[in-house]
Structure 1
C-alpha cells in the first residue's frame, strides 16, 4: 500500500495547540496530528494507548510474526476449531464481505500467492511455488471458512493474508482511542490509510494530499478535504519488483492466481471507516477501471482511479471525485 502524504494547516487557536504523536509499527509508522490542550502525562497516556492499539492489531494479524493469530490460523489443520480474538474475527468478517461483493477481487485467502511471488516472508519469486499454487483448487475463500461464535475452522487448505485490510482497521482502532480520550480534532495515519476525526480546531476540514503514482519520487496529485471520513489508497508503484521491463506489483488477483497487471496505477476510496476504505481500494485496483467502476457505481462507493496512459495518467472518479 503506497503512503499518502498529508499537510494540515496550522490551528490559529492558541488554546488548542497542535500536537504530533507517532511511532513504529507493521514495518512502517503510525502518526496522529491533533488539536488539543493536553498535559505531559495526558500526552504520554494517549501515546501509550495509540501504540497499544496498533500493536494489538499487529500481534493478531501480522503475516511476519510467528506468534500472531493469523499464522496460528494458517498452521492449524483442516477441520480444527480455533478460538480467535474478537477483533481478528471482526476484520475477517469484513474481508469476507468485501470478497463476496467483489466476487473474489478482494481475497483474504491469497497468502500462498503472496509468498510464492516474493511479497511475504520470501524476498523473491519462487517459480516452483508459483506453479504449485496454480495447480491447487481455489474455491471461494468464504466457502472454505466456517464460523461458530468465537471459533473458526478451515474446511480446506487455506493461507490467510489480511494485509489489504489490517492497517485500515488499525487506523480505526487509533481513532477509537482518540475518542475515548476526549479528542475531537485529529488526523490519523498509517501508511496509505487515514481517518479525519472531526475537523481542525480552526473549523476547516483536514486537507489530505493524494499521492501521484510515481515510483521514484513523492509528489502530490491532488488534495481532498475530509471531516469524519476515511481515505485509503492502493497502487502498484511502491511495493513491486522489476522482471525485465515489467513491474510486478504486490497486489494479488486470486482469480488469475497472479499479481495485478491492468493499467491501474492507484485507486483511492473514501468511506465512513478506514477498514472498509482499505479493503475496497484493493478490490477496485484488482477489478480495474471497467469492472471496478461498474461495481463501485452499483454500491455507491466514492473512488478515484489513476490509470496509466502512455507516460501520464488519466483520472476516473465517482462521488466526491465525479467531476
Structure 2
C-alpha cells in the first residue's frame, strides 16, 4: 500500500489514461491489480504455463514493482534516489544497477531531444505549483524562474554503469524519475512474466503499457487512446497491438489559468516556462516502455512541428493530436500509420 505523499510524487507526470476497450472476459487466466508508484497497475495473462501458481505469481510481481518503487521514489526518504538527492557531494556515489540504467536512458533521451526531456527539471515543476508544493494562483516571477533554471540541466548529471554510480556537477542538483520510472517498472514486470514462461500478457502502470502475444479473445490486444478533453472520458482511437510498448503524454488535465491564460504542468526545461503550443496528446510506440515513456514527454515539450519532424525523420511510430480552433486533428507519423490500419475508432 502506498501513502498519499508517494502518490503525489509519481502522479506528477501521469499525463494521460489508457484503458483496454472492454472489461476482461472470463477466459483471462490471470489478472492482478493494485497500487504502486503513486498510481494503479493492471496485469493480465491470457494463459499460465503448467505449474505456475497464480498466488506465487502475484507475490513475485509485487516484489518486482515494490523494488523499483523503493529504489526510485523521491518520496521515500530511504530510497537510493532520495539519498543521492540529499547529498551535496560532487563525487561519484554508488547506486543500484537499476537506478544507473534508468538514469543512463534518461540522459540519452535528453541528449537526443536537445534537453526537451530532463530528469533534473523538478525545481521548475515545483516552482510552477505542479509538485508537492502548494498550487499557485499566479505565475512565478522571472527572477524566480531564472533561479530555479540555474539548478537544473541534464548536462549537470553523470552516470556510470560499471560499477554503477551517479555524480552531480553542482551540489544541489535534484533528480526526479517520474517521467521514465513507470515505463521501467512495466518492463521489469514484463520480464518477470517471461521468466515464468508467460508469453501472452498485458502490463499497464499508470497508463504505460507493454503487450505480448495474444489477448484472451485471440489476436492482438485492443488498446484505447483517450480523447484529450478535460473532465471527459471518451475514446479517441482504438489500436490493435501486440509485441510492443506504448506510452501517452497529454496536456489537458493538469493546469491552472490566470486572466484567461492557461499554464500547463508540462514545463520546457530549456526555457523554464510551461509549453504554450497546441499539442495536447502524444502516443509513442517503441520496443521498451521505458523509452516510450521518456519520449512521450520529450515530444510533448518539442511540440507539434519540431516533434513531428524529429519523429518522422527517425521513422518513429508516434501519434500527435493537435488542438485547432474547430476541434482536434490527428497527425500520425508514417511509421504509426501501419498500426492504425489494424485498429478501429
State whether TM-score is above 0.5: yes
State whether residues 146 and 154 of structure 1, in contact with CA within 8 Å, keep that contact through their aligned partners in structure 2: no
How far did residue 144 of structure 1 move?
A: 3.6
How far did residue 312 of structure 1 move?
A: 1.4
In the alignment, structure 1 segments of 5+ residues that lack a partner are none
Aligned to 1:87: 98
How far did residue 37 of structure 1 move?
A: 4.3
84-93 or 311-320, larger mean C-alpha shift: 311-320
Distance 1:62 1:250, change over 3 A: farther
Q: Provide the C-alpha distance between the structure 2 equivalents of 1:161 and 1:250, rounded to a whole number of angstroms.
A: 15
Is the counterpart of residue 273 in structure 1 residue 284 in structure 2? no
How far did residue 311 of structure 1 move?
A: 4.7
Aligned to 1:149: 163
Aligned to 1:160: 175
Is the counterpart of residue 44 in structure 1 residue 59 in structure 2? no
Q: Provide the C-alpha distance between the structure 1 equivalents of 2:140 and 2:81, rounded to a whole number of angstroms.
A: 24
How far did residue 252 of structure 1 move?
A: 1.8
State whether residues 208 and 289 of structure 2, in contact with CA within 8 Å, keep that contact through their aligned partners in structure 1: yes
* Structure-to-structure mapping, 1:50-61, within 5 angstroms: 50-61=61-72
SS for the counterpart of 1:46 is helix
Q: Provide the C-alpha distance between the structure 2 equivalents of 1:249 and 1:187, rounded to a whole number of angstroms.
A: 31
Distance 1:45 1:245, change over 3 A: farther
State whether residues 180 and 290 of structure 2, in contact with CA within 8 Å, keep that contact through their aligned partners in structure 1: yes
Aligned to 2:43: 32
Is the counterpart of residue 183 in structure 1 residue 198 in structure 2? yes
SS for the counterpart of 1:215 is coil
Aligned to 2:12: none
Q: Provide the C-alpha distance between the structure 2 equivalents of 1:309 and 1:128, rounded to a whole number of angstroms.
A: 28
Q: What does the per-residue CA deviation read over 1:147-204, in whole Å, with 9 as the maximum and x for residues that have no partner?
A: 3631221011421111111111111111111111211111111112101122225541
- Give the TM-score normalised by structure 1: 0.91
Partner of residue 80 from structure 2, selected from 45, 61, 69: 69
In the alignment, structure 2 segments of 5+ residues that lack a partner are 1-14, 341-345
How far did residue 18 of structure 1 move?
A: 3.7
SS for the counterpart of 1:253 is coil
Q: Provide the C-alpha distance between the structure 1 equivalents of 2:209 and 2:184, rounded to a whole number of angstroms.
A: 10
State whether residues 215 and 237 of structure 1, in contact with CA within 8 Å, keep that contact through their aligned partners in structure 2: yes
State whether residues 192 and 234 of structure 1, in contact with CA within 8 Å, keep that contact through their aligned partners in structure 2: no
Aligned to 1:198: 213
Runs of at least 4 residues of structure 1 off by over 4 A? 8-11, 37-41, 126-130
Q: Provide the C-alpha distance between the structure 2 equivalents of 1:138 and 1:10, rounded to a whole number of angstroms.
A: 46
State whether residues 116 and 129 of structure 1, in contact with CA within 8 Å, keep that contact through their aligned partners in structure 2: no
SS for the counterpart of 1:281 is helix
Aligned to 1:231: 246
SS for the counterpart of 2:248 is strand
Q: Provide the C-alpha distance between the structure 2 equivalents of 1:290 and 1:214, rounded to a whole number of angstroms.
A: 21
Partner of residue 284 from structure 1, selected from 288, 299, 306: 299
Aligned to 2:150: 137
SS for the counterpart of 1:5 is strand
State whether residues 199 and 205 of structure 1, in contact with CA within 8 Å, keep that contact through their aligned partners in structure 2: yes
Distance 1:139 1:122, change over 3 A: closer
State whether residues 255 and 264 of structure 2, in contact with CA within 8 Å, keep that contact through their aligned partners in structure 1: yes
Q: Provide the C-alpha distance between the structure 2 equivalents of 1:110 and 1:78, rounded to a whole number of angstroms.
A: 19
- Give the TM-score normalised by structure 2: 0.85
Q: Provide the C-alpha distance between the structure 1 equivalents of 2:65 and 2:181, rounded to a whole number of angstroms.
A: 10
**Count of residue pairs the alignment pairs up:** 320
How far did residue 239 of structure 1 move?
A: 2.8
SS for the counterpart of 2:323 is strand
Q: Provide the C-alpha distance between the structure 1 equivalents of 2:185 and 2:337, rounded to a whole number of angstroms.
A: 26
Q: Provide the C-alpha distance between the structure 2 equivalents of 1:40 and 1:130, rounded to a whole number of angstroms.
A: 62
Q: What does the per-residue CA deviation read over 1:102-135, in whole Å, with 9 as the maximum and x for residues that have no partner?
A: 0001111101112212222213139668743413
129-138 or 149-158, larger mean C-alpha shift: 129-138
